[in-house]
Structure 1
Amino acid sequence: MSDPATLEHVAAELSALRDLFQRRLLDDKAKARLYEELYSQVELARHGLARSQLRPLFGELLLLTDRLHEVVGNPEVESVVEELEEVLRRRDVRRVPPIDVFDPRYHEAVRMETTTDSVKGQILAVLRDGYLIGDEVLRPALVVVASGMNAVEAPNGLPLEEPDRIGSSGMQPE
Structure 2
Amino acid sequence: MTDAQRPEGLEDPEELKPVVRDRRRIDPETGEARVPETGDGTDAGASAPASGAAAAASDEELAAARSEAAERLDDLRRLQAEYVNYRRRVERDREANREAAKAEVLAELLGVLDDIGRAREHGDLTGAFRSVGEALESVTTKAGLVRYGEPGDAFDPMIHEALMHGYADDVEVPTATQILQPGYRIGERVIRPARVAVAEPTEALPETPAESPAADEPAENKDDQS
TM-score by length of 1: 0.68
Question: Is residue 130 of structure 1 aligned with residue 180 of structure 2?
Answer: no
Deviations 1:107-147 (A, max 9, x none): 11223356565567321211222122232321100112236
- What is the one-letter code of the residue matched to 2:202? V
Change (3 A) 1:50 1:82: closer
Any unmatched runs of 5+ in structure 2? 1-46, 206-226
Matched residue, 1:80: 135
Question: Is residue 94 of structure 1 aligned with residue 149 of structure 2?
Answer: no
Matched residue, 1:38: 86
Q: Distance in 1 between matches of 2:181 and 2:143?
A: 17
SS of the equivalent of 1:32 reads helix
- What is the one-letter code of the residue matched to 1:141? A
CA root-mean-square deviation: 3.0
Instruction: Give every structure 1 segment of 4 or more consecutive aligned residues whose post-TM-superposition deviation is greater than 4 Å.
Output: 113-120
TM-score by length of 2: 0.55
Matched residue, 1:26: 74
Contact 1:127 / 1:143 at 8 angstroms: preserved in 2? yes
**Does 71-80 or 55-64 show the bigger shift?**
71-80
Query: Number of aligned pairs?
Result: 149
- What is the one-letter code of the residue matched to 1:20? E
How far the C-alpha of 1:19 sits from its partner, in A, is 0.9
Q: Distance in 2 between matches of 1:138 and 1:129?
A: 11
Query: Mapping of 1:99-114 within 5 angstroms?
Result: 100-112=153-165
Deviations 1:79-112 (A, max 9, x none): 31442232232xxx32346562322111112233
Q: Distance in 1 between matches of 2:154 and 2:83?
A: 46
Percent of aligned positions that are identical: 28
Greater relative contact order (Cα 8 A, min sep 6): structure 1 or 2? 1
Q: Distance in 2 between matches of 1:61 and 1:30?
A: 47
Deviations 1:47-103 (A, max 9, x none): 2223333332121122222222233343513531442232232xxx32346562322
Any unmatched runs of 5+ in structure 1? 158-174
